[in-house]
Structure 1
């Protein structure tokens, strides 16, 4: 059944035509053609199956003393786990041991990868923390969608919340312990309890008779084989005399035996006791919830041998489950699938008195060069540095290849997986037919929209203005019947200020404030009814706007053609003098009085008319679609600045309008760029800066600066800050070199991370050169390099530098 379903899923994935269906459109960018989207219309369940995503994290260091943690994330998608992602947003959360989120960040996914950093908030307490990484799409699955990594902040290390180091683990293979059969049992004890002779302890019976010693294979982990007798109890006796009971043996049931030492084939044996029920059974293998293997068990004399082709399964932990036809679990066993791995080497090729040059090379299993991107870190391992053991796609290759044979390496990895994942339970299948969380192509702003009279705005056009250090731009949208304002697919970096407004006769009705919806994909029906009633009766009840809105994100949008330029009536009436209170000029630079014009708050004039009243400013084409502004005395197109924030300048600096049949030689700026950002009735004054006055804006001010200031809070005017929110976009990436330069000498000397480069690109020969400064540290240096190419092949290097 599942085999046919798997084939159908792959068939759907390969199609490039659309089916008539009540489902969503999915844009797929596969590894073979990442730039060309293929539109496939499939059911929700098919979409969840073929587009399942998984995140793999590499941290530059698991312990930090400062305020920055560097990481590289790889996104793997689909049944074959290729490195690409339909999602464009990666969510990163830093949580303490209580599960409280200390920091949440958003990062943009490019080519199935993210290279970023986590800025730890100031005054964060020392201790153990968890880094969680996930996409919005991953939250559709019933099993845990998060990728987790444990880190240590500060020097105070406490591993009790990371791994049960003080507990004893005893796990029979498959979860069954049968009398009269040889059973494989995995053991794990704290490494400090390993005896001097290299054993974990001794298996004894109830009479204290020694049965067999358990060899230590890997820092407190071992394997032993035992054939229990009917009615006998067995114990693990440690070197200190403490005993721990083994599970009670059974006289009927099934054994699931697996030999996973061979590189391509896993040998599986299913054994059935004479007393066991002779019901039909099947063996199912799933990896991250996706079925890859299913085999009906055909017994011959109560035994069945099965060969599992591991080369057809992507890299990861495959959960094998022996079940009956009703889905009841009989036995289970996790095994490690190596997949098509890559080899990374790092060799010194040159050196001077100050630096050393290394060649990083990536090859496949046939020793052919691989062009890919490598993330590489070098850390200094001090006495307080503690390694946190976790099993992920990089873990099986964490041993140096020259330290042991490949056969022994696979044996150790199989033992680690058996111990770490035997009790993780059955992987959840995709049971839902609905997609709750769509593929996220960008960040989102969503909330209930109110004016400053606390009136809910239903089906109301709203203009959203975005302001950050890069300038100002706008987007136009309309609230829905519930008064909800949405802006989707936002792409912007860093902190941004959001201001919303709508059409109205007064500023208090014109400015819009948002009350954030906590869960953007669930709205409480009862709360909706209450809000609609409130809107109909025009409630003036005061509300407290949540400060958590800062987590939202915004992005400038192209607004050309979205606003209509009003006709400007020209009159000879003089505007009012300056009000007693006004917005201060930016940096205290104020031009001469004749280059300042004030708006009349009682009878406000259009922007074009105000500019015409300033000597030296030319406004052309006021009746045209694209009027322009120029300052002949300056050399370039004027720069518009609103309340200190520059608006994007025209690239060529010349407008297209004509004056008297002759194209004006003065560079111009399109007046619509200013009209799209500020309403003429909100203007307090306009200042024109020329020459030295405009020098504070650098080369952008060479063509002069038209600085627009909006009104301060007085009488009928409301301050803009009452309707503005601060939001966080994609987390800006801090380059490692910049980070190091900002450290003090002492911080640099004590820093654990000496080198980090998440994007080392190998050439056609699979090679890349890196140059490292020579350090005078006497501490051992640990190198870790990882890569996952577009086919999902994984490579890792972990070694030490002399």
Structure 2
């Protein structure tokens, strides 16, 4: 994007003095050295991470499996992470409740995974998010999040309609951070609707006397810019002409009487920065300009500023790595006064090619795809990749969607949701670069605050960096304050009876780690009373962090496309289950669920009759389940289990709808208990889990209006001490979850005895999360076409061993046999 001239006000200032050499590169400057040292310290101490998931597609039907490949990198260099080795993946409902959680063991920063979508899921826009324990220290705003569309199984879905324009919001952002009276400024605008999507607007800026000052119009996705010079003592507002809405005017930020204004122009091979100042006194002031990309200081210079002068400096782009660069201006007291984000375009470091061996195939033909990976110079590179092959008619390609390169270089370093991020990488045309620059003028953020960084305040990090599964928490003492120096004992129950101890740190926190994650660990955690610590209370860290999501407009595919998708989905689900039943993968055991029949006499069973009964003796390896609700999940029609293994909840579905507001009543050996007590019940000691719907549960009164989950232990309540009284908070039971086992996507090998009579793979024909190029940069994968015909698309994503991200697409057709 070239700019042939500066605004008139800037040009007038430059006529006084144009100092392209006014900034100097310091050979030895204390402030810049300190700044560089603190940036290095921040990224070394906080070690920020980025997670990314490559999904097999973006639209699913209830009952299908969502397949994904997880990638974890360090946030500075984007190299595959070698520190955190545990990744959490959550599926959130349209109401932003955690439906299920997967815990993955990372190897070289990657891991395959999958999520079974319950056949009873309501249609809507769900969200998949991924994060590590360490990432929780920075907040949920740094988690990877991607919306997906889920259609109701077996029928065309009617998703929620778009919200009306009453949700319109318009914000204005002065370039550099503030308006200064008498100084020309660029102001960016961003208009969004109820779902956070861009809305095109136009209008004019007026002063406090109603005098028009400048007109404006958004350029793309509700974003644009205009230039004007605010006058001292005036207030300004933007008045909309289009679209018509309930609110038509928005106040602009107030102009400050003194300060700095900074403008950055993209001049192809370099960035041109211009700085102006207005101060109460005319004295010269030293200033410092720095530019950093993900903590790497790419440029630093200093100069002396006078009000009459506008300083201009050219910064070559070849000094920067690809991604978002932060330009920051510091005043004479080393305070950050202006900041501007720009995007540095470089040639892709990774070039991927996908080449099917033919352009067209017949049903059940063997398809071989050759993959080549090279760097920008054409040298072969080794890397880890994942490949999805979809029916292009059922899963249309979305060129604007997030991919691994757009996420690492753009989405993950911006505040809020980026709409159609892929569109900014589609080409290098001036209009596209202008649109990207407008985005950076409106949605910038930093992982640190300059005053805290320069003062060495790096914040607290209560959540551990996990190289294995861990258990952490807090001990509270008298008056509910953290108890440093407290002794915490961990008892591991079962065949491997272990005892370990830890001492809480200065903030009262403790950590136990090195759990292998292969089997569910049954634990007891105890905080011992001591002098000055009479009644210790343990608070374990929850596995589910806060949910911070943005509204997403529901995607409603064409009804004909939905019908075709669902038809293929039903057949593919049935085929996948047959494949799993043959032992090729993991499937819920076939369990006989006794329904609505008289039960043996038991004094704890005051209801006499249940709508469904699940007996643990009928479930192979029932002891490997974390808790009784996980054991129940997916086994009883109409029972919806949500949450993670250590924070699950049950709701019982009615005939037509699922009541999402009220939870089932939990009863242990005839005594109602709170949901928080479920994790302390050892599954091995449970005989049956029984479901009572509204009529059967009437004996429990109004509390059971939404149904009852009744848990009967083998030995009865007296053995467990569940009397309904207050639990000893200094002694907690806990079932540590295990890693998700790796499952395999079903791909028939034609010619062997497992060949199906009919191959119904439709929406997702092939999924391979483990494609690796060798030292020659080569890889090859083979699979078979199904009986479905039409166009198919391939999408390959991944990382090299040195952290270069890439994506490549290709296509082929399957034609009916003649």
TM-score w.r.t. structure 2 length? 0.54
**1:413 lines up with 2:440 in the alignment:** no
- Deviations along 1:169-200, one digit per CA (max 9) or x if unpaired, are 4433223345665543334446999xxxx985
User: CA-to-partner distance for each residue in 1:201-257, whole Å, 9 max, x for gaps?
Assistant: 3546577879556363x4444344445677585646444566545726736532221
Give 1:299 shift: 3.2
Looking at structure 2, the residues matched to 526 and 100 of structure 1 have their Cα atoms a distance apart, in angstroms, of: 42
**Equivalent residues in 2 for 1:276-675, closer than 5 Å:** 279-285=285-291, 294-299=300-305, 301-308=308-315, 313-324=320-331, 328-338=335-345, 341-350=349-358, 351-354=360-363, 355=365, 356-379=367-390, 380=392, 392-393=407-408, 399=422, 404-405=427-428, 409-421=432-444, 429=453, 431-432=457-458, 436-445=462-471, 464-465=493-494, 474=496, 476-479=498-501, 488-493=513-518, 496-498=519-521, 514=524, 529-530=534-535
User: Separation in 2 of the partners of 1:5 and 1:547?
Assistant: 36
Q: Deviations over 1:337-367 (max 9, x none)?
A: 4466323333444243235544433332223
The alpha-carbon distance between structure 1 residues 444 and 281, as it changes in their structure 2 partners (threshold 3 A), is: same
> What is residue 109 of structure 1 aligned with on the other side?
106
Whole-Å separation in 2 of the counterparts to 1:53 and 1:516: 33
Relative contact order (alpha carbons < 8 A, sep ≥ 6): 1 or 2 greater?
2
Aligned length: 558
Structure 1 pair 295–94 and aligned structure 2 pair: CA distance change class (3 A): farther
Any conservation in 2 of the 1:371–1:765 contact (CA below 8 Å)?
yes
Between stretches 313-322 and 226-235, larger displacement belongs to 226-235
User: Any idea what SS the aligned residue of 2:71 has?
Assistant: strand
Q: Does residue 761 of structure 1 match 2:776?
A: no
- Tell me what 2:217 maps to: 214
Aligned-residue offset at 1:86: 1.2
Structure 1 residue runs of 5 or longer lacking an equivalent are 12-43, 450-457, 467-473, 501-513, 518-522, 533-542, 552-586, 588-642, 648-711
Hey, what does 2:703 align to over in structure 1?
A: none
Structure 1 position 146 matched with structure 2 position 143:
yes
CA shift for structure 1 position 5: 5.0
CA contact (8 A) 2:388 2:796 kept: yes
Q: In 2, Cα distance between the equivalents of 1:461 and 1:215? A: 60
TM-score norm. by structure 1 comes to 0.55
Kindly tell me: are residues 210 and 546 of structure 1, through their superposed partners in 2, closer, same or farther at Cα, counting changes over 3 Å?
closer
Deviation at residue 48 of structure 1 after TM alignment:
0.8
SS of equivalent residue, structure 1 residue 74: strand
What is the DSSP-based 3-state SS (H/G/I as helix, E as strand, rest coil) of the residue aligned with 1:417? Answer: helix
Give the alignment's Cα RMSD to 1 decimal. Answer: 5.8
SS in 1 for 2:101: strand
Q: Which whole-Å CA distance do the structure 2 matches of 1:419 and 1:342 have between them?
A: 29
Instruction: Measure the CA separation in 2 of the matches of 1:515 and 1:289.
Output: 40
TM-superposed deviation, 1:730: 1.1
What SS does structure 2 have at the residue aligned with 1:413?
Answer: helix
- Residues 497, 725 of structure 1: 8 Å contact kept: no
**C-alpha distance after superposition, 1:406-457 (max 9, x if no partner):** 65544433333333337999587472476544432211357999xxxxxxxx
Indicate which of 111, 115, 128 corresponds to 1:131.
128
Distance across 1 between alignment mates of 2:541 and 2:73: 35
2:387–2:797 CA contact under 8 A, matched in 1: yes
Cα distance in 2 for partners of 1:59, 1:792 equals: 20
In the other structure, the counterpart of 1:173 is 175
Match of residue 37 from structure 1: none
Q: Is the 8 A contact 1:84 1:790 kept in 2?
A: no
For 2:560, the equivalent position in structure 1 comes to none
Which residue is equivalent to 2:61? 65
- CA contact under 8 A between 1:283 and 1:321: conserved in structure 2? yes
Residues 421 and 728 of structure 1, relative CA distance in 2, 3 Å threshold: same
Aligned equivalents of 2:720 and 2:214: distance in 1? Answer: 85
Structure 2: any 5+ residue segments left out of the alignment? 1-29, 152-156, 412-419, 476-486, 546-589, 591-618, 624-713, 722-731, 814-818
Deviations 1:698-725 (A, max 9, x none): xxxxxxxxxxxxxx86999999xxx997
> Hey, what's the Cα distance between the residues in 1 that align with 2:796 and 2:449?
32
Distance 2:293 2:162 in 1: 29
Match of 1:255 in 2: 261
Question: The residue matched to 1:412 in structure 2 has which SS?
Answer: helix
Instruction: Tell whether 2:190 aligns with 1:201.
Output: no
- Would you say the 8 A contact 1:252–1:276 is kept in 2? no
Distance 1:188 1:780 in 2: 38
Shift of 1:107: 1.1
Change (3 A) 1:253 1:644: closer
Contact 2:91 2:98 survives alignment (8 Å) = yes
1:282·1:322 contact (CA, 8 Å) conserved in 2? yes
Q: CA deviation digits over 1:60-98, x for unaligned, max 9?
A: 334433353333333222743422321211123334566
**Cα gap change, 1:5 to 1:255, in 2 (>3 Å):** closer
- Larger CA Rg, structure 1 vs 2: 1
Q: Per the alignment, in what secondary structure is the counterpart of residue 268 of structure 2?
A: coil
Distance (whole Å) between structure 2 residues aligned to residue 308 and residue 159 of structure 1: 48
Give the aligned partner of residue 187 of structure 2: 185
Q: Distance in 2 between matches of 1:75 and 1:525?
A: 42
Deviations 1:347-393 (A, max 9, x none): 44424323554443333222333222222334547599999866732
Distance 2:104 2:267 in 1: 39
Instruction: Give, in whole Å, the separation in 2 of the partners of 1:373 and 1:298.
Output: 50
C-alpha separation between the residues in 1 aligned to 2:499 and 2:249? 67
In the TM superposition, residue 275 of structure 1 has moved relative to its aligned partner by 6.1
**Structure 2 SS opposite 1:83:** coil
CA deviation profile, 1:464-505 (whole Å, cap 9, x unmatched): 446xxxxxxx363345689x9985212234xx35457xxxxx
1:506 counterpart residue number: none
Q: Distance in 2 between matches of 1:717 and 1:70?
A: 43
- Confirm whether residue 789 of structure 1 aligns to residue 811 of structure 2: no
Instruction: Verify: 1:266 aligned to 2:260, yes or no.
Output: no
**C-alpha separation between the residues in 2 aligned to 1:249 and 1:326?**
24
Instruction: State the Cα deviation string for residues 622-669 of structure 1 (Å, max 9, x = none).
Output: xxxxxxxxxxxxxxxxxxxxx99899xxxxxxxxxxxxxxxxxxxxxx
Distance 1:795 1:85 in 2: 20
Report the equivalent of 1:691. Answer: none
Is the Cα contact below 8 Å between 2:382 and 2:774 reproduced in 1?
yes
Paired with 1:524 and 1:267, the residues of 2 have a C-alpha distance of: 65
Whether the 8 Å CA contact 1:191–1:220 is kept in 2: the answer is no
Rounded to whole Å, the distance in 2 between the matches of 1:75 and 1:125 is 31
Call closer, same or farther: CA 1:715–1:247 in 2, change over 3 Å. closer
Q: 1:448·1:515 contact (CA, 8 Å) conserved in 2? A: no
